[in-house]
Structure 1
Amino acid sequence: MRQFAVCLLAAVLGSCLALWIMDSRQSTVGQVEAQGTNSPYSFPSSSAGPMPFPAPGASFPTALYNADGLTPEEQVNVAVYENCNRSVVNISTTGVSADRFLMMQIPEEGSGSGAILDHQGHILTNFHVIERARQINVTLFNEDSLPAKLVGADPVNDIAIIKVDAKEGTLFPIPLGSSDHLQVGMRVFALGNPFGLERSMSQGIISSLNRTLEVQRNWVIKSIIQIDASINPGNSGGPLINTHGQLIGMNTAIASRVEQSAGIGFAIPVSLIRRVVPELIKHGKVIRGDVGITHVTITDKGLRVARLVPGGPAEKAGIKGPKVTRRGLLEIADSSAADVIVAVNEEPVTSAAELLGIFESKKPGDIVEISVLRKDEVVKVPVTLGGDQGGPKSAAENI
């Protein structure tokens, strides 16, 4: 009897405790639900499955948007375009190409992009955009179409400057940034006129840095920026822009078998543009030191000198070319007597592009030390560079 009474008392106490716990839980849930009515977020329990997508007509949490309904990422995109699109111009060209078979000239048209640099009307673009142009026209953001003239060009770096005379208040220069501290993964924007669609913008990231790009035979541009932003024919010469709305490069080429975007594009860094453009505006060309070597051939040991400029800096300094002998009207060149270049300023060279690249930043009067292999011995020859004689352009075409 006593055991039965104890069991009965335990059952009653257990029921009371259970009722008290359930009441407490309901009270807590009610408090959470009451607090939740003042929050823009909903926190479904884990047992309810994944968080559902907002129903039609519903909105995401307002904290993710600004007053215009834009996310932070969209705000950056819009700000970049609004601040930079008026700095982009559409370039159209007309010229002629020679048809050797028909012995006649055929009219041809081209198009590209450019970026306004200053209020004087200087516009940055690629040399290949205006290379064969007899007439250049520029269309501004307000649809004004203006004739342009060539101010200067650096073909080996594929950079050109053209100029327009525009009404006051219609030119919006693009801010120049820096390409010295770029990193793979940084977000970038490409502005231009792909397929003639004016002032289009695409976005992507920097895919790689310090690529090399051969834009002219035997001449390689270093420190090229590789991007995955979509660029197509017509984008050439347009600006590559960072998230601060600054030009960090100029879109130049794409890697594609069908001449359309394949997610691999290349841009000339603004560091090179900053160095070249002032000379193009001032002199119309880049003044470089002339070494007086116009032809070399590649050998297993280095670059054999194939032709020297008579009386040029290299010949005066003692660099030896092929030994030429005459037999009647014939000239016979013995190339085995020519020096083989192995280094310049202690920097090894194995190709004509590397040789020319060393002279990229050299000026007339600079002294370079050319190491040559002569009769199986390395001889160091100091050469004082001469004045500009067409610079690496002529050398790149010949070497």
Structure 2
Amino acid sequence: MQKYTTPCGLECERPLSLHPQPRNSASSPLPINCSCSSCATHGHTPPLETQASLGCGACPAPRPPPRRPRAPLPGVSAAGGLSSRAPPRQPTVARKRLRGHRGKHVILMKCQAKPYCLCQRGSLSPCQPFVLAYIRQALALGEPSVKIEDVTPKISPSGPLFPTEKRIAELFETNTYSVVNIFDATLRPQLNITGVVEIPEGNGSGVVWDDSGHIVTNYHVVGSALSKNPKLGEVVARVTILAAEGIQKSFEGKLVGADRAKDLAVLKVDAPTDLLKPINVGQSSALRVGQQCLAIGNPFGFDHTLTVGVISGLNRDIFSQAGVTIGGGIQTDAAINPGNSGGPLLDSKGHMIGINTAIFTQTGTSAGVGFAIPSSTVLKIAPQLIQFGKVRRAGLNLEFAPDPIAYQLNVRNGALILKVPASSAAAKAGLAPTGRGFAGNIVLGDVIIAVDGKPVKGKSDLLRVLDDYGVGDQVTLTVRRGAETLEVILPLEEANV
């Protein structure tokens, strides 16, 4: 059977007259890599690598579907052909950013009815519409093929962390298992109209204190349950602990003891020993303003959240719900929000230096001024709550005038005694209360100005000084009575606060 040579340079059994003749056959020789549709019909499609080369431009161009007329490009007539005034252009390689592909792409137009791109994977896939429009315009300008490269910048792998970042990440990963999430058992979350669970009022944090399952938190975190005067051992909260595999496990939190005056409470969970990771407690007495600190908690219900800041101030007075001043408070600019209460404040070594307890704000969210109960106070209160269920706090069992009232009575320095119970040790020592004279005038009582030589500026200052003593300790009070100064020795009693 006779074979004929096609315009593509291939042999075909069909006569040459059945193949479309190239438009420029009279002016230029036929190329050997034409991929016209007729050749493809008879199985003469050239190999893929051959198609990737420049086309011949000899086969009739496919007729595009009708579309709305638009403004022609410079040098292009309204019909889509070359303008008679525009000089013929040489084939060029155009570069264009292509978001839909990766790597380099060779767009094959030549004699095919549809444009395709040759990706790095070696497969033909249709291009995006905006690319096709770009290719049609390029062909109309005389470019038989267009090469498009992805100019997206190379994505570099993330580098190693800085030493400080690495240290903070390690501290968080180590201590996050010692932080628990606490929900007040008496408060139930409600579904709002959007179906999102609202954050319960009693949501807060806590720290694992020991291997026995004791959890230290703030009094106000479980304040709603404690306001019902539960007995020791009753369930007052749900406690969730993060396991090593990243699963939150929930347990019942039973009341061990609470101290409203210092805003501290201790719960107990019956959890496996391997799940309990006690926190490392450090000393807060050697802290310095400016040193770095970290706060871990569950703000707004987002469990195990880390914030970083510095210690902004020391020896701040924190007023508890009982109206008692918690002395030695730590001020920090680490973000402390509702839900952080009861969580630990850590130093740069990962030791707990305080329990986050309050924020100074007018909006209910963090304003860069947060406070924490110092670890020195926690170390005094928590063991007593675990052992006795309450705090045996040393005191004088006297009623003192609030500092503003004492100031109005011209007491500028010291704690003014208002009442002295008859059965108290202070009464036996001869301390005098404030009273009224025969004419109805106010007769000021004794004013305590020092305890064992430590100066006392007012009521709150006296209570802070007495925190360093235990029940039964003998103290020497420096008392101002009228124009004279006395020294009174007496034992401290268990405070009724």
Query: What's the TM-score once normalised by structure 1's chain length?
Result: 0.72
2:154: which partner in 1? 57
- Cα offset for 1:163? 0.8
For residues 352 and 368 of structure 1, the distance between their equivalents in structure 2, rounded to whole angstroms, comes to 17
- Answer 1 or 2: which has greater helix percent: 1
Q: Deviations over 1:129-180 (max 9, x none)?
A: 1223152111111322111112122222222211111134221112222323
Contact 2:309/2:334 (<8 A) preserved: yes
Equivalent runs, 1:303-318 vs 2, <5 Å = 303-318=415-430
Q: 1:365 to 1:75 in 2, by over 3 A?
A: same
Give the letter for the 1:366 counterpart.
D
Pick from 179, 202, 214 the counterpart of residue 122 of structure 1: 214
Contact kept, 8 Å, 1:192 with 1:236, in 2: the verdict is yes
Is 2:330–2:372's contact at 8 Å kept on the other side of the alignment? Answer: yes
**Displacement, 1:92?**
0.6
SS at match of 1:241: strand
Q: Which 5+ residue runs of structure 2 have no aligned equivalent? A: 1-151, 188-199, 227-235
Aligned partner of residue 358 in structure 1, secondary structure: helix
* Counterpart residue number, 2:8: none
CA distance in 2, matches of 1:363, 1:247: 24
Question: How many residues are aligned here?
Answer: 314
Q: Retained in 1: the 8 A contact 2:186–2:237?
A: no
Matches for 1:76-87 after TM superposition, within 5 Å: 76-87=167-178
Aligned partner of residue 313 in structure 2, secondary structure:
strand
Q: Higher strand proportion, which one?
A: 1
Change in 2 beyond 3 A, CA 1:92/1:340: same
**Once the two structures are aligned, what percentage of the paired residues are identical?**
39
Q: In the alignment, which residue of structure 2 is the partner of 1:181?
A: 286
Partner of 1:71: 162
1:11 equivalent in structure 2: none
Structure 1 residue 58: Cα displacement = 6.1
Closer, same or farther in 2 for the Cα pair 1:279/1:230, shift >3 Å? same
Q: 1:82 to 1:317 in 2, by over 3 A?
A: same
**8 Å CA contact retained: 1:190, 1:231:** yes
Which of residues 219, 234, 237 is equivalent to 2:339?
234
Q: Once the 2 structures are TM-superposed, how far is the Cα of residue 372 of structure 1 from its aligned partner?
A: 2.5
Which residue does the alignment assign to 2:39? none
Q: Please state if 1:131 is matched with 2:213.
A: no
8 Å Cα contact 1:218-1:353 kept in structure 2: no
Q: 1:95-244 counterparts in 2 under 5 A? A: 95=186, 109-133=201-225, 135-141=236-242, 142-216=247-321, 219-244=324-349
* 1:347 partnered with 2:454: yes
Deviations 1:99-144 (A, max 9, x none): xxxxxxxxx8411100111111011111121223152111111322
SS of residue in 2 equivalent to 1:110? coil
Structure 1 residues 256 and 89, CA gap change in structure 2 (3 angstroms) = same
CA distance in 2, matches of 1:187, 1:290: 36
Task: Measure the CA separation in 1 of the matches of 2:416 and 2:282.
Answer: 41
- Partner Cα separation in structure 2 for residue 196 and residue 373 of structure 1: 52
How far apart are the structure 1 equivalents of 2:280 and 2:382?
14
Cα distance between partner residues in 2 of 1:382 and 1:132: 42
CA-to-aligned-CA distance 1:206-241 (integer Å, 9 cap, x gap): 222232222246532232222111110000000112
Give the conservation status (yes or no) of the 8 Å contact 1:320–1:339. Answer: yes
Gap runs ≥5 in structure 1: 1-54, 97-107, 327-331, 394-399
Q: Match for 2:154: what amino acid?
A: G
Aligned-partner residue type, residue 175 of structure 2: C
Native 8 Å contact 1:231 1:254 kept in 2 = yes
The AA in structure 2 aligned to 1:378 is T
Ranked by relative contact order (alpha carbons within 8 Å, sequence separation 6 or more), the top structure is: 1
Q: Does 181-190 or 232-241 show the bigger shift?
A: 181-190
CA contact (8 A) 2:400 2:415 kept: no
Equivalent residue of 1:368, what SS? strand
Larger Rg: 2
CA RMSD in angstroms, aligned pairs only: 2.7
| Structure 1 CA distance for aligned equivalents of residues 379 and 265 of structure 2 | 12
Structure 2 residue 181 is matched with structure 1 residue 90: yes
Contact persistence 2:396–2:495 (CA under 8 A): no
Contact 1:154 1:286 in 2 (8 A): yes
Amino acid at match of 1:306: L
User: In structure 2, what is the equivalent of residue 300 of structure 1?
Assistant: 410
Work out the CA distance in 1 between the residues paired with 2:481 and 2:327: 31
Distance 1:372 1:208, change over 3 A: closer
Superposition deviation, residue 280 in structure 1: 1.7
SS of alignment partner, residue 169 of structure 1: helix
Distance 1:168 1:364, change over 3 A: closer
